[in-house]
Amino acid sequence: MSGTAGQVIRCKAAVAWEAVKPLVIEEVEVAPPQATEVRLKILYTSLCHTDVYFWEAKGQTPLFPRIFGHEAGGIVESVGEGVTDLKPGDHVLPIFTGECKDCAHCKSEESNLCNLLRINTDRGVMIHDGKSRFTIKGKPIYHFLGTSTFSEYTVVHVGCVAKINPLAPLDKVCILSCGISTGLGATLNVAKPTKGSTVAVFGLGAVGLAAAEGARIAGASRIIGVDLHSKRFEKAKNFGVTDFVNPKDHEKSVQEVIVEMTGGGVDRSLECTGNVNAMISAFECVHDGWGVAVIVGVPNKDDVFKTHPINLLNERTLKGTFFGNYKPRSDIPAVVEKYMNKELEVEKFITHSVPFSEINKAFEYMLNGEGLRCIIRMEP
């Protein structure tokens, strides 16, 4: 790959020219990495709901034309000036948030909210010079989440690249770069259920099932899945879910139902939908005295969380988490090792696979509620 270092690479990318229109496979020019940047050859990528959300222009600032994609696995093609901990040929996962290792957050053992590289959904250019590394016939194409993995080659800040075990299959572990790690870490790093405890998970999409998987790994005795789609329960059993509650089946509130089911409330709960009412239910269904609720889903910007202060005074704890409290460069390699050591199953999250030329099928699967993760193979 070193033959292309320092040169513009022409390759294929799936470009979103406007909201809700099918992506178009185009030939793009990918500039060499600048200082603190890395150019990656993407081998596998997958579709996350966040890509769909911004493709539908439901995010804060619609920005087109854009190259979406942020769950992926690839190989370092070349590195920019000042990059010392990565070299061409390294196997990596690009991550939508980063770890500069220098700011107060990165130096804190309690935070993963890097001042420099935390998620920025509005920015469509590189931090180094405020320019895009993608062009089509000289016209800039915007980046997405600093990753833009729906391209055969992409340029990413070094702080958003996790170097992983080269023996790990990239077509499997690529999904650990976003949703699965988010749900898993929310449980293991933030909720921290103990062996034999009870856990409620609100929302049984990929992130919620990853949260349930974390509860299973932790040894929870009872995992209650909450979802509006009863058909999800059967699949959820594979992730350790033991009970299912569909709010539409009850006249009482979900929190009341769960409190009755458990004789006072669950020990831990995780909200993975982004619905503010589900967040309130997740908090109010935990046991007084020791219950901990963790908010994982991202709410609409105008939502307001309302609960009676007595719920806090009665020693319930409400927490939030971002990317499962994982620091990308420091922690994600160890999550990959969990998979390599057979402590974590990722295959059961992968329900579809398509070649890059059929990337729009992945959108159809997600929009139709089919499956969890669709792997997009960059090479046929």
The catalytic residue positions are 48-50, 70-71, 100, 103, 106, 114, 118, 178, 373
CA nearest neighbour of 44 among 152, 162, 145, 183: 152
* Three-class SS of 30-95: ECCCCCCEEEEEEEEEECCHHHHHHHCCCCCCCCCCECCCCEEEEEEEEECCCCCCCCCCCEEEEC
Residue 148, helix vs strand vs coil:
coil
CB atoms inside a 10 Å sphere around CB 276: 18
Query: How far lies 318's CA from each of 61, 102, 286, 309, in Å?
Result: 29, 29, 10, 12
Q: How far apart are CA 80 and CA 6, in angstroms?
A: 9
Which residue is it, tokens 């993407």?
42
Cα R_g (the chain), whole angstroms: 21
Beta bridge partners of 73: 44
Contact 287, 261 (CB under 8 A): no
Q: How far apart are CA 112 and CA 106, in angstroms?
A: 6
Helix axes 276-284, 254-262, angle to 10 degrees: 30
CA 316 to chain centre: 27
